[in-house]
Amino acid sequence: MAGTGETTMSHLPEEILTNVFSAVSDTRTRNALSLVCRSFRCLERRTRTSLTLRGNARDLHLIPTCFRYVTDLDLSLVSPWGHALFAASTSHQSDPQQLALELRNAFPRVTSLALYARSPVTLHLLLLIPWPNLRHVKLVRWHVRPPSSQPGTDFADLFHRCRSLTSLDLSSFYHWPEDLPPVLAANPIISASMRRLNLLTTSFTEGFKSHEIQQITASCPNLEHLLLACTFDARYLGYVGDETLTAIASNCPKLTLLHLGDTASLSNRRGDPNDSGFSDEDASISRATMVEFFSGLPLLEELVLDVCKNVRESCYALEVLNSKCPKLRTLGLRQFHGICLAIGSQLDGVALCQGLQSLSVTNCGDLNDMGLIEIGRGCSRLVKFHVQGCKLITEKGLRTLTCLLRKTLVDVKVSCCLNLETFAALRALEPIRDRIERLHVDCVWNGMKESDGLGQSLLNFDLNKLEDEQCVWEDFGSMDSEGTSQKKRQRCSYSPPPEEVEIDDSLMQSNGNGYWGSSWDKLKYLSLWIGVGDMLTPLPMAGLEDCPSLEEIKIRVEGDCRGKPKPSETEFGLSILACYPKLSKMQLDCGDTRGYALTAPSGQMDLSLWERFFLNGISTLSLDELDYWPPQDEDVNQRSLSLPAAGLLQECYTLRKLFIHEMRVGSCSRFEYALNRRRISD
C-alpha cells in the first residue's frame, strides 16, 4: 500500500468492524477490546447484546449505564442472593421503585429477561414501565412461595403488562402447579401468542395434573415448544394417560418440541444397574393412543417422553412415528419396551426413524445387542446416542453400533448398564475414539486387571463380509447357550446389502496394545459418575490417558459417606487430571453425597474431612472456571462449604469464575462481604 503510515485494524470501515465485534462472544475478550481506544469501546458497547449482572444492585451508582444495546439481560444472580431484589434494607437507603426505574432505564432494549423473583413485588416494580418488546422471561426462585401471596400473583403482572410475551421459562421457579392455569385462562390474548412454555420444574413432587395440562394447552393453542413435569403413575389423582396425550395433540398441533417428564425422572441420582428395567406398574398409555398422539403432531422435531412406568409393545407405534413425524430429529424414551424387536432382516420400531440425529434410551428392559445393531443400521445419521439402565446390552453390541455409526457419532453416554463398566464401555467406543467430542461413562472399576483384552477378540466377524448370511448372527447367537428357534431364524434370514454396512477394514484391527487409536483427539467434554469412596486414579489406565483437546470435565460423586471406611489415600484423584493440557473448566458435583455435617461417630469422617478428600489436588489443575456442589447432611438440612474446602479452593490461583451451589444465605453474604474488602487487580 502506498504511503508511509501503517494500516491498522482501526482503519477498517465501521460496518466491517461491527461485524467482527458482533462475532466475539467471550466476555473477557470483549472487555479487552473495549480498553483499546474510545472508538473500540463504543463499538463493543453497541454490539454487546447479552449481559449478566452479579453485583449488589442496591448500590445505584454501580449499575452500569453504558450497555444500552443489551437485549438479553440476566438479573437472576444479583446480590444479595436469596433476598427479594427490591426489598427494604437497613444498610442501603435506596428507594425500591427508584432502583427498578434505574434498571429499566439502563437497559432500554431488553427482549429477554432472567430474574430472581423472591416475591411478586419484584415483577410488579420492575414492570411498572414495561419493556415494549419483552418477549422471553425466565423466572428463578428456590424458596417456597411467600405465605402472604395468593395463587397466581407471581404471574399476574407479567401477563397483564408484557403484551409482547411469547416465551416463559419456569424450570427454575419454585411454585405450585395450580398457580399458572388460571392466569393463562384470564389472559386469552397473551396466552394465544405464547410460543414456548417450559414448565419442567424440578421442585415439583407430583407435577401438573391431567386437567391442568388440558387447561394450559387449551389456553395456548399456538405453542411450538412445551416442556412439562407431570406424573404417569395411575395410582395418583390427575395422572397423565390416554386422555391427556390426546388433548395435547388436538390442542397444540403446531408443536415442534415436546418434553413430558415424570417427576421421578427429574432426580439426578443413578439407578441400580441390577434392575431389570421394568417398573412395578404400567403406564395407562395404549398403543392406539400413541398412534393417534403421533399422528396429531406432524411438525415434531424433538420428542422426549420420560414416562418412568412401563410402556409395552411400543414397536408399532414408533414405526408410525417415523411416517407421521417426518421432521423428527431428536427422540428420548424412558421405560419404553419393545422399541426394536430385531426379528429377521427387516428393520422395525425405532430403527425405522431414519432421520434421527439424537436418540436417548433409558430403562428399556428388553433392548439387547441385536436391537443396537438394528438401530445402527436404520438410524444411520445419529450424531448423539445415550443409553442408560439397559441391562441386556453388552460391549459387543455397543461396539458394533459404533462401527456402523463411525462417520456421524460424536456424542455418547453409557450409564448404569450392568455389562458395560468403564473398561468395557471405553473398549466398545474404540471405533470412534478419534472422532468423539462428548462422552459420559460411569467409573465402575469392576474386573480391572492388567491382562484385560482391551479390544482384542471382541468381534469375530468382518462387517464388510456380510454376504455370508450367518456370520453376524452366529457370533451373537453364541452368547445364548439355549439358542431358541426364533434366534435361529434370525441368523438364517439376515443378509443386508453391503452398502448398508460399509466399514473400513482398519476398524476391525487393534494395534499392538489392544487399542485402535492412540488418543481421543477431538474429545472436548468428559462426564463421569463415581460412587463415594471410589478413586478417580484408575481413569488413565482405563484408556483415557491421552485427551489433548479436553477442555471441560464434569464429575458427579454420589452415595452415603456414613458407614464408609476412611479412604486409604489422602486424595480422591483430581491431580491425575493434570495430564489434560487444555482442561480449563470443571464441574465437581458432590450434591448427592450424604454424610455427617456435625460430629461423626468414632471411626468415621465428617463432611469437612470428606470435602478435603474430594478437593485435595485441585490446586495442580490450571482451571479457569469451577462449579462446585458441596456434600450435604439431609438429617440436619445442612449443605455449606467447610473450612478445609475453602482453604483448598483458595489455592486455585488461576480461577476466573467460581460457582458454589447450595450455600446458605448467611454464608453467601459473608463470602461476598469478605470478597468486597479485598482489592482484586484483575
pLDDT per residue as tens digits for the range 122-172: 898 889 889 999 999 999 988 777 777 788 899 999 999 999 999 999 999
Helices 14-22 and 38-47 pack at an angle, to 10 degrees, of: 60
pLDDT at position 463: 44
Q: How far is it, in rounded angstroms, from Cα 135 to Cα 406?
A: 41
Average pLDDT over residues 324-352: 93
CA distances from 155 to 138, 175, 203, 256, 662 (A): 11, 10, 18, 25, 26
Strand-pairing partners, residue 531, are: 558
Please provide the DSSP assignment of 231-247 as one string. ---TTSTT---HHHHHH
CB 371 within 8 A of CB 490: no
Given a cut of 70, whether residue 487 has pLDDT beyond it is: no
C-alpha cell at 307: 414416562
Determine how β-strand 136-141 pairs with β-strand 112-116.
parallel
Q: How far is it, in rounded angstroms, from Cα 213 to Cα 224?
A: 15
pTM of the model: 0.86
pLDDT at position 425: 95
pLDDT at position 458: 38
Strand-pairing partners, residue 114, are: 74, 138
pLDDT at position 88: 55
**Residue pLDDT, tens place only, 559-590:** 999 888 888 888 999 999 999 999 999 999 99
Check residues 160 and 81 and name the one with the higher pLDDT: 160
CB 476 within 8 A of CB 370: yes
pLDDT at position 274: 84
Most confident of 27-36, 208-217, 482-491: 208-217
Q: How far is it, in rounded angstroms, from Cα 232 to Cα 211?
A: 13
pLDDT at position 221: 97
**Residue pLDDT, tens place only, 614-660:** 999 999 999 999 999 999 888 887 777 888 898 899 889 899 888 88
- In degrees to the nearest 10, what's the CA dihedral of 425, 428, 433, 439? -30
